[in-house]
Amino acid sequence: MADTQKTATLTLDGQSYDLPVYSPTAGPDVVDIRKLYAQAGVFTYDPGFTSTASCESAITFIDGGEGVLLHRGYTIGDLAEKSHFLEVCYLLLYGELPTAAQMEKFENTVTHHTMVHEQMLKFFSGFRRDAHPMAIMVGVVGAMSAFYHDSIDIADPHQREVATIRLIAKMPTIAAMAYKYTIGQPFVYPRNDLDYASNFLNMCFSVPAQTYEVNPILSRAMDRIFTLHADHEQNASTSTVRLASSSGANPFACIAAGIACLWGPAHGGANQACLEMLREIGTVDRIPEFIARAKDKNDPFRLMGFGHRVYKNFDPRATVMKQSADEVLELLGVENNPTLQVAKELEKAALADPYFAEKKLFPNVDFYSGIILEAMGFPTEMFTPIFALSRTVGWISQWKEQIEDPAMKIGRPRQLYTGATQRPYVNVEDRD
């Protein structure tokens, strides 16, 4: 636990209560209110928990005002530029960047766990062909606990480790199978000769009738998408995973809960909403009209993919993602894709407009990732499953950290009750 050398005093009805104040390695101080109810008989009120630290964590730090995102102390820019996704996975899970030998062993272990139990394939046929891939992923990932009984005992460190590897390794396979199922194509099994990102692309886009060659530019862009979405501190889905795990639920159920939360359009569906906005704009000549609407406070239209709830300056992930977007669009071109033409011109128009600069509404990671995935040929319904695939390692890292925290308790938020007080029961024949 972080050291405390300060206290805060709360005065209520003339009575004062001293509360410990903890100083983190980075970020604002934290007032410890765990004994507040026992001492003062009151709760705190914080809808959305936006001013409440729900846990102690050493994994990810965000300073939204300064546009800083650190994983284990390393900037996201350095990691996205110099590392690859599985190396970042190792960092998030174990706290340090791996040595060459550690990296080789970790990659080999993940690679040889990418196949799923053959009987799990029958789960897919139980869904309608027009089912959303996220619906399929929630069901299939939750069902993993029915197949992997040797890795659901959360009190056993070895079983926790096995579950960790299985989830990271099998999530691309499950996501790709969900995609293949919805488009009516046969499943493509993973290949051990391909790296993590290339293997996912191959499982999504190859078909038995012809050989699919993974372009290294697309593979690198996919790897960066995975890296830039790997973890994002105590967001809604991560908090959901932690809350589910606090009850002692098995890891597969906890990750399925995170996937379900991520499905929400206010969370994981942001890049899908961005592409839908671009399609609504339709053509380049309509951009000025929508720019004007975005500035009009009385118009409900908003530019999706610009600005961020957390980052009040700029999204540090967007710089790297923009580079990848430029590389992908240069490779694949935008001439025959009106949506991508609109995206490129909208980016130019918004960045050149003083209104957006003053309000710090810069293109964020969702704007550029949506462009990349659209250019690669993914339908918008696959954007959130790819996000879930990427975020799995963050969820697991946070899950492991919580399980190993001696201060862990089952989550039980309080409430500000505003309903009826106790009243007498009236029999149905006597009710007016």
Give catalytic residues, as residue numbers: 308, 366
CA dist 381 → 112, 222, 365 (Å):
28, 17, 18
**Pick from 201, 224, 176, 192: which is nearest to 109 by CA?**
192
Q: Collapsing DSSP states into helix, strand and coil, what is residue 404? A: coil
Contact (Cβ atoms closer than 8 angstroms) between residue 301 and residue 290 = yes
Q: Which residues are CB-neighbours of 179 under 8 A, at least 6 positions away?
A: 133, 204, 378, 382, 385
**Pick from 27, 33, 25, 42: which is nearest to 7 by CA?**
33
Query: Other CB atoms closer than 10 Å to residue 53's CB: what's the count?
Result: 17
Alpha carbon distance 52, 242 (integer Å): 15
What are the beta bridge partners of residue 4? 22
DSSP letters along 264-292, please? Answer: STTTTTHHHHHHHHHHHH-SGGGHHHHHH
